[in-house]
């Protein structure tokens, strides 16, 4: 069966420090991978998505970046965190294309607090 | 471009009573619609989906939703709320040409004993 792992679960970082959040998927191949951010009291904001190794699409200009070094690994990074980067980060995947693309499988999330 | 509006930011119900979460969408083509549930500090879990088959869709945990094209709605219902239904619920729409997803702002459900 397929599983998704996301870590770390909780992170407290000072302003200006770097960030690395990692997500891996098991039990499937060639998934679409997504990074979402959920700020307090707000809905989900798509940050990045990837349809294949090395293929990254950015939805929102910001100081974050994403990489997909392997088929089932998706990494979210920042060189210098801002206070506004605080939030709950969710990784998700799907193997569907077309009308079922919205059937996503989410990780447990990583809560980032920037102080 | 498509969009989705969840009409209630918060719904409070008593245990054992019906739950209704309202969702309206706008779409240019033939949308696919989804409902997700998120418990505190957890990821989202798919409850059910509509992708142009039967308009009444049954999901997990006793939830169902009806796609009404004339009303551009996809409301989520459950006949009898359980304490474990306390969570946040998101309505999601996707559509041609690229099936990008649009999430609603979410509805928080509280269940009173």
Nearest CA in chain A to B108: A41
Q: What is the pLDDT of residue A38?
A: 92
Q: Write out the H or E segment, with its range, that includes residue A75.
A: strand A73-78
Distance CA(A42)–CA(A105), nearest Å, equals 20
Query: How do beta strands A55-58 and A110-114 pair?
Result: unpaired
Q: And the tokens for A56?
A: 């990254």
Chain B residues in contact with A43 by the CB 8 A cut-off are 90, 103-106
Per the CB < 8 A criterion, the answer to whether A62 and A76 are in contact is no
Q: And the tokens for A22?
A: 């990692």
Average pLDDT over residues A27-56: 90
Q: And the tokens for A109?
A: 């999330």
Chain B residues in contact with A108 by the CB 8 A cut-off are 42-43
Q: Does A53 touch chain B (CB under 8 A)?
A: no
CB atoms within 10 A of CB B66: 15
Chain Cα centroid distance, residue A47 = 7
Most B-contacting residue of A96, A99, A110 (CB-CB within 10 A), to test interface: A99
Provide the residue ranges of all domains of chain B, joining segments of one domain with +: 3-112
Provide the domain count of chain A: 1
Q: What is the pLDDT of residue A41?
A: 67
Fold topology of B3-112? Immunoglobulin-like (2.60.40)
Query: How do beta strands A110-114 and A10-13 pair?
Result: parallel
What percent of chain A is helix, strand and coil (3-state, nearest 5)? 5, 55, 35
Residue A76's domain is classified under what CATH number? 2.60.40.10
Q: What is the pLDDT of residue A1?
A: 79
User: Which residues 6+ apart lie within 8 Å of A16 measured at CB?
Assistant: A80, A81
For A3-16, the pLDDT digits (tens) are 999 999 999 999 99
Q: What residue numbers bound the domain in which A44 lies? A: 3-114
Per the CB < 8 A criterion, the answer to whether A106 and A99 are in contact is no
Nearest CA in chain A to B98: A98
Q: What are the average pLDDT values for consecutive 10-residue runs of chain B, which has 113 residues?
A: 91 98 92 95 94 90 96 97 97 87 94 97
Distance CA(B97)–CA(B109), nearest Å, equals 33
Chain A residues in contact with B104 by the CB 8 A cut-off are 43
- Candidates B41, B45, B101; nearest CB to A102: B101
Q: And the tokens for A16?
A: 């200006």
At A102, the pLDDT band (50, 70, 90 cuts) reads confident
Chain A residues in contact with B43 by the CB 8 A cut-off are 6, 90, 92, 106-109
For A80-90, the pLDDT digits (tens) are 999 999 999 99
Alpha-carbon distance B94 to nearest alpha carbon in chain A (angstroms): 7
């Amino acid at each position: 069966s397929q599983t998704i792992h996301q870590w770390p679960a909780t992170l407290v970082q000072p302003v200006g420090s770097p960030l690395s959040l990692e997500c891996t998927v098991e039990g499937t191949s060639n998934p679409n991978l997504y990074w979402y951010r959920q700020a307090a009291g707000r809905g989900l904001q798509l940050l990045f998505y990837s349809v294949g190794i090395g293929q990254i699409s950015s939805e929102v200009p910001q100081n974050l970046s994403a990489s997909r070094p392997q088929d089932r690994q998706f990494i979210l990074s920042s060189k210098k965190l801002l206070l506004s980067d605080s939030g709950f980060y969710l990784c998700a995947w799907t193997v569907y294309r077309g009308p079922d693309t919205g059937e996503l499988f989410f990780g447990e999330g990583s809560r980032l607090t920037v102080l | 471009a498509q969009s989705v509006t969840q009409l209630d930011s918060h719904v409070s119900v008593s245990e054992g009573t019906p739950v209704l979460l309202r969702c309206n969408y706008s779409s240019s083509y033939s949308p696919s619609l989804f409902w997700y549930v998120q418990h505190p500090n957890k990821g989202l879990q798919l409850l059910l989906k509509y992708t142009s088959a039967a308009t009444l869709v049954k999901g997990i945990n006793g939830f169902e939703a009806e796609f009404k094209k004339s009303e551009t709605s996809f409301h989520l219902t459950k006949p009898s709320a359980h304490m474990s239904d306390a969570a946040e619920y998101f309505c999601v729409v996707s559509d041609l040409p690229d099936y990008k997803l649009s999430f609603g702002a979410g509805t928080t459900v509280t269940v009173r004993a």
